[in-house]
Amino acid sequence: MKTDFRYIRRKVFGTVMLGLSLLAALAAVSMLFWILGYTFIKGISAVNLDFFTKLPTPVGVPGGGLANSIAGSIIVVGMAGLMAIPVGIATAIYLSEYGRGVFASTVRFVSDVLAGVPAIVAGIVAYALVVTRMHRFSAFSGSVSLALLMLPIIIRSSEEIFRTVPDTLREASFALGVPKWKTILSIVLKTASGGLVTGTILAVARVGGEAAPLLFTSFSNSFWNFNPGQPMATLPVDLFNYSISPYQDWQQKAWAAALVLVGMVLLLNISARLYLARKGFKR
């Protein structure tokens, strides 16, 4: 068999290109480990019990922690969830169970477009909507901005989950004479519940790491605050403020905050994804 020069060139070129694609995948995976590993090494030395239990100290005063901003993050994200999750799931029910016409496809299109709105814009909207009317920064306005980000994510993932519920289940229920709304509440919601929970967890993980919309809504606070009408410290905002400060001990705290934040976000993410993979849902 003759192997001509031209074919050898094709073959070498192809092998080089496929080799480069392997390299690209390796590069991306090593970026992941580089970023996570560096965060871990820099952060672990500053993470201790105080970090989770104490209030922040002024510059130069050693010790202290970010207990208030960890709690603040939970509160702000929690309130956002309370607003976005019911609306999101109810909308997804409508879209997957009743939605056929122009109205449903408009809602679908709008929520897909909303999903692409930058986080910082959600912050501006919450600012204009809540902060300017209340005349002060507040945890509540932060929650509004995060809810705005969460809503389209929840609608999209829940609708996808509802669609994985096989029609035969619905039909079996109709055949027993159960009306559609009861079928949805009892059969469809119950079958989809696992997927809904994981979809919601992913949405929480996604917005929980956001700082941009909180900078000028929930703002920050050096003290304990449980009043949603007042400014509240959150982990991402503190991380940002500490990281761009010129003080060594604050930067140190930023790394610790980064480690805790990344730990929480990835823990939520990995557990949700593993659960989904085990259940056999796509994505």
Please check whether residue 235 is in contact with residue 74, taking contact to mean a CB–CB distance below 8 angstroms: no
Would you give the DSSP letter of residue 54? S
> Tokens standing for 103?
């109205």
Would you give the DSSP letter of residue 245? S
Please check whether residue 274 is in contact with residue 202, taking contact to mean a CB–CB distance below 8 angstroms: no
Q: Which of residues 45-84 bind other proteins (CB under 8 A)?
A: none
Q: To the nearest whole angstrom, how small is the minimum distance from the Cβ of residue 232 to other proteins?
A: 14
Which among 213, 201, 211 is positioned nearest to 237, based on CA atoms?
211
Stretch that binds other proteins, among 24-32, 44-52, 53-61, 222-230 (CB under 8 A): 24-32
CA 268, CA 205: separation in Å to the nearest integer?
6
Q: To the nearest whole angstrom, how small is the minimum distance from the Cβ of residue 77 to other proteins?
A: 12
Nearer to other proteins, 57 or 269 (CB): 269
Q: To the nearest whole angstrom, how small is the minimum distance from the Cβ of residue 231 to other proteins?
A: 11
The distance from CA 122 to its chain's CA centroid, rounded to whole angstroms, is 14
Would you give the DSSP letter of residue 246? S
124 binds other proteins (CB under 8 A): yes
Nearer to other proteins, 21 or 61 (CB): 21
When binding is defined by CB under 8 A, the residue of 55, 67, 87, 187 that contacts other proteins is: 87
101 binds other proteins (CB under 8 A): no
CA 214, CA 125: separation in Å to the nearest integer?
11
When binding is defined by CB under 8 A, the residue of 66, 146, 150, 261 that contacts other proteins is: 261
The neighbour count for residue 222, using CB atoms within 10 Å, is 15
Stretch that binds other proteins, among 18-26, 57-65, 161-169, 222-230 (CB under 8 A): 18-26
> Tokens standing for 51?
């970090």
DSSP 142-202: HHHHHHHHHHHHHHHHHHHHHHHS-HHHHHHHHHTT--HHHHIIIIIHHHHHHHHHHHHHH
193 binds other proteins (CB under 8 A): no
- Rounded to whole angstroms, what are the CA distances from 278 to 146, 271, 282? 29, 10, 10
The neighbour count for residue 22, using CB atoms within 10 Å, is 9
When binding is defined by CB under 8 A, the residue of 51, 162, 216, 250 that contacts other proteins is: 216
Stretch that binds other proteins, among 46-54, 58-66, 127-135, 168-176 (CB under 8 A): 127-135
215 binds other proteins (CB under 8 A): yes
Nearer to other proteins, 125 or 169 (CB): 125
When binding is defined by CB under 8 A, the residue of 11, 136, 190, 279 that contacts other proteins is: 11
Q: To the nearest whole angstrom, how small is the minimum distance from the Cβ of residue 213 to other proteins?
A: 9
231 binds other proteins (CB under 8 A): no
30-36 — which CB contacts under 8 Å span 24+ positions? 36/262, 36/266
161 binds other proteins (CB under 8 A): no
Nearer to other proteins, 31 or 59 (CB): 31
281 binds other proteins (CB under 8 A): no
When binding is defined by CB under 8 A, the residue of 52, 63, 112, 224 that contacts other proteins is: 112
106 binds other proteins (CB under 8 A): yes
